Amino acid sequence: MTRSSVAQNTAVLLIHCPDQRGIVASVTRFLDENNGNVIYLDQHVDIALDMFFMRVEFELDDFQVPVEKFHDYFDTLVGQRYNMTFTVHFSTHIPRMALFVSKMSHCLYDILYRKEAGEWNVEIPVIISNHENLRRVADNFGIPFEYIPITKDNKEEQEKRQIELLKKHDIDFMVLARYMQILSPSFIQTFPSKIINIHHSFLPAFVGARPYHAAHDRGVKIIGATSHYVTDELDAGPIIEQDIEHVSHKDTVQDLIRKGKDVEKIVLSRAIRSHLERKLLVYKNKTIIFD
């Protein structure tokens, strides 16, 4: 069962293109002919959009196309024929994730414990915060903590510092683990489909600030949390994961906040896992999740 071992040497190919006959046959033939054993294959056709989406995971051990030439070969021999957009990810590269936090610790702990327990294959080179509160947590897990306070006046300048830090640490993607600042459009555009946020409502209900207060005012019987990629429009990016918790008239706003935290941390961690395992594809502001 070496195939499931951490040390396995695999690649994930994520593809989308207009739907046509023979795509699966062409892709799998290419891999097969070059001795790339397919481990997982998931495929989805969106009939309304007439689009084809695929995730293929295959073993590299006997694969005859050199890793550095894969993109070129596959594009020439298969991709161009079907007008494919594709990315390929090799298991030898461990994704590098930055965390943004403010004062609340529930998501941060949930993320850091998973890394520490070996649940995820990820590097966390830096935690960035606009408050000092969680420095001790970062210290305990041995992760550099960068305090970058934000005011209306210094936001542009501080975001530049943040971007420098992210580049210096060679970050692949970042997670806003209840980071209570709205990122500027220019920051967001620097990292398309690379910023995962957790919003504390079942979107599109209760966009914006203080969703639990709004939920309490409306008298809802369920609360929820939504992880999504950040786009220019507030809380309107592609949804990755959602889940809910039942509540009642007995629950105060404080109870909603408390119960909501348990949903938030699980929903955010599931989204991170999908992203890390390359099971996510974004197309036209929606996600395809190959589970």
Q: Of the listed pieces 72-80, 101-109, 149-157, 175-183, which binds its own copies according to CB under 8 A?
A: 101-109
Question: Strands, DSSP E only, in the chain?
Answer: 10-18, 38-46, 51-59, 85-90, 96-101, 123-129, 145-147, 173-176, 195-199, 222-229, 239-246, 280-283, 286-289
Q: Of the listed pieces 29-37, 69-77, 80-88, 148-156, which binds its own copies according to CB under 8 A?
A: 29-37
Angstrom distance (rounded) from CA 47 to CA 223: 32
Q: Is 287 in the site for its own copies (CB under 8 A)?
A: yes
Q: In angstroms, what CA-CA distances link 228 with 6, 95, 236, 238? A: 28, 18, 8, 5
Q: Is 143 in the site for its own copies (CB under 8 A)?
A: no
Q: From the candidates 217, 235, 243, 291, which is the catalytic residue?
A: 235
The distance of closest approach from Cβ of residue 122 to its own copies in the complex, given in angstroms and rounded to an integer, is 15
Q: Is 250 in the site for its own copies (CB under 8 A)?
A: yes
- The dihedral formed by the CA atoms of 246, 248, 251 and 256, expressed in degrees to the nearest 10: 30
Angstrom distance (rounded) from CA 109 to CA 39: 33
Q: Is 28 in the site for its own copies (CB under 8 A)?
A: yes
Q: Of the listed pieces 92-100, 150-158, 176-184, 258-266, which binds its own copies according to CB under 8 A?
A: 258-266
Choose which of 18, 144, 185, 204 interacts with its own copies (CB under 8 A). Answer: 204
Token pair for 123: 């590097």
- The dihedral formed by the CA atoms of 111, 115, 121 and 122, expressed in degrees to the nearest 10: 60
Please give the single-letter amino acid code of residue 63.
F
Question: Strands, DSSP E only, in 130-263?
Answer: 145-147, 173-176, 195-199, 222-229, 239-246
Q: Of the listed pieces 39-47, 93-101, 124-132, 155-163, which binds its own copies according to CB under 8 A?
A: 39-47
The distance of closest approach from Cβ of residue 255 to its own copies in the complex, given in angstroms and rounded to an integer, is 10
Catalytic residue list contains 235: yes
Q: 158: which residues sit within 8 A by CB, 6+ positions away?
A: 148, 149, 150
The distance of closest approach from Cβ of residue 174 to its own copies in the complex, given in angstroms and rounded to an integer, is 21
Helix, coil or strand: residue 193: coil
The distance of closest approach from Cβ of residue 25 to its own copies in the complex, given in angstroms and rounded to an integer, is 4
Q: Is 277 in the site for its own copies (CB under 8 A)?
A: no
Q: Is 286 in the site for its own copies (CB under 8 A)?
A: yes
Sign of CA dihedral 76, 82, 85, 86: negative
Choose which of 160, 222, 232, 233 interacts with its own copies (CB under 8 A). Answer: 222
Token pair for 114: 């998973």
Q: Is 106 in the site for its own copies (CB under 8 A)?
A: yes
Give residues in contact with its own copies (CB under 8 A): 1, 3-4, 21-22, 24-25, 28-29, 31-32, 35, 37-48, 104-106, 109-110, 113, 116-117, 119, 140, 202-206, 218-222, 224, 238-244, 248-250, 252-254, 258, 262, 266, 269, 285-289, 291
Active site residues: 235
